[in-house]
Structure 1
Amino acid sequence: MRFQLTDDQQALRTGVRELLERCCGREVLRAAVDAPGLIDRALWRALGQAGFFALRLPEADGGVGLGLPEAVLAFEEAGRALLPGPLVATHLAAGSVPGAAAGETVVAAVDGALVEWLDAADVVRGNASGAVPLRSVDPLTPLHRIPGAGGVAEADPVAVLLTAAEQLGTATRVCELAVQHARTREQFGRPIGAFQAVKHLCADLLVRVETARAAVYAAAVTADRADIAAARLLADEAAVRGARDCLQVHGGMGFTWEADVHLHLKRAWVRARRGGGGTRSEELLAERLAV
């Protein structure tokens, strides 16, 4: 079967990308790094007005009335732009928490023993009693830990898939950044992209991105838990390994605050822990194969 985006889906992806470029460009992102833990409420309302959180909400309930594939496209763009905030939790709460769909209410959710954006949230879904701040590797994702919390709870498959879509967006962006740098950075009088070792890194980046993209898009169509688990594993690998390879292409410059690559890597690390991370997806796939 050949999966191709419809004209409407292409327009949706383009519209979300243009919105994020206007509202969450590099300067806004850098300002967020300098003010960690704060939600840009104007940006959150702009997302609500654009229907980002209400994409899957029925039109009769004031939503956009689209499906999971369209939500995946929107979250892929959010991942590509490094959009900060509890996006998945607020999106999932759009039909049950007043103000979430319109971007007036910021919703956080307990994920096992961790909570993202607890202090900035208006509503917290789950028991976050006793939560204590946890130093996050990602300056754009504040974390709290719940002492004594049990094992990882069963994750909502939609939350897992939307996280995979965000990881796909990061993987796509770091692939772009690596290729751009390889074309413009020169050593010994030649672009570094002319050297075989750099070519191989960029080729591997692209292969992982497109493999993850096929899996994520297919899972958005089937909504099968095993397909979603496979998509999550491939997207996590594409994002984390892709960002590390992109750092390798950039060299020492990639670790500096002037470059965005390390922000993508840190966000990919944090996302990879959501919903039990790769371990839970591997267990689900193993259970399916054992049947």
Structure 2
Amino acid sequence: MSLAKSAPAEIRIRPNQNWLGLDWQSLLHYRDLLYLLVRRDFVSKYKQTVLGPLWFIINPLITTVVFTLVFGRMIGITTDGINPILFYLCGLVPWTYFSNVLNSTSHTFTGNAHLFGKVYFPRVIVPFALSISHLFTLAIQLCTFLAVYVIYKLTGRADHLAPGPLLALVPVFILNMGLLGVGTGMLFSGLTAKYRDFHHLSGFVVQLWMYATPVIYPLSKLLEKLPADWQWLALLNPMTLVTDGFRLALMGAGTFAPVGYAISFGVSLLVFLAGLFLFQRTARTVVDTV
């Protein structure tokens, strides 16, 4: 009696042909790794510090006091009738999340080269994990602002302020910041893997970007200084209407243009897609260049 020989197993290795080179199913397969990276990033920041997570509260409070003394008292920048402490603290909540995501994701390849060279996993998990871990910081700082806001309301120094109808759009604002921060960070990460000059340039860009965003001044004052034909430039910055939208949503004071915000969200989405495309292309050969 003869046994039929079974055909040998055949394994085909093909290049990834999915949209933008991203295997979305693999992200679900490695969701446990995503959780571990989120936990690692959150815990490692203040693991060996005395105050620990309290720095999430101390940092924005110190920055708010400095902004109030320098820009409010010394330079005399107006805040459209809003208490300077509330004005600067509310503006720092969205900006801190955006800048943290951008800065951390911009060093993805250079900061994780030792890990990428040892084991395979979808490289894009790292910037996604960083953006998620910074959501905890955003939540803590948002609660800090709300606590200060309640204190000012109880003491009668913010009676004219109240949450506005844009409060329902806060999750959309957070998504906008996440897309823009991750997209810009992935762009810098892909460029830094080949040209290390961008490692130094990213911090400089974030600093200039903050001054182009109404964090330390109201959007209304910026629009007053610009000619009517050039005001669209201020709205082209995706963080402009996000920052002022946070103030309008949480305190009922600020400037918001629905059409302008739709354009800003579109810009954030394009930046994210461009960053994802460059990141995925760089990830194929990054071990050989970093």
Q: Same fold (TM over 0.5)?
A: no
Scaled by the length of structure 1, the TM-score of the pair is 0.35
Pick the structure with more helix per residue.
2
Q: Identify which of structures 1 and 2 has the higher relative contact order when contacts are C-alpha pairs closer than 8 Å and 6+ apart.
A: 2
Q: Higher Cα Rg: structure 1 or 2?
A: 2
Structure showing the higher strand proportion among its residues: 1
Q: TM-score, normalised by structure 2?
A: 0.35
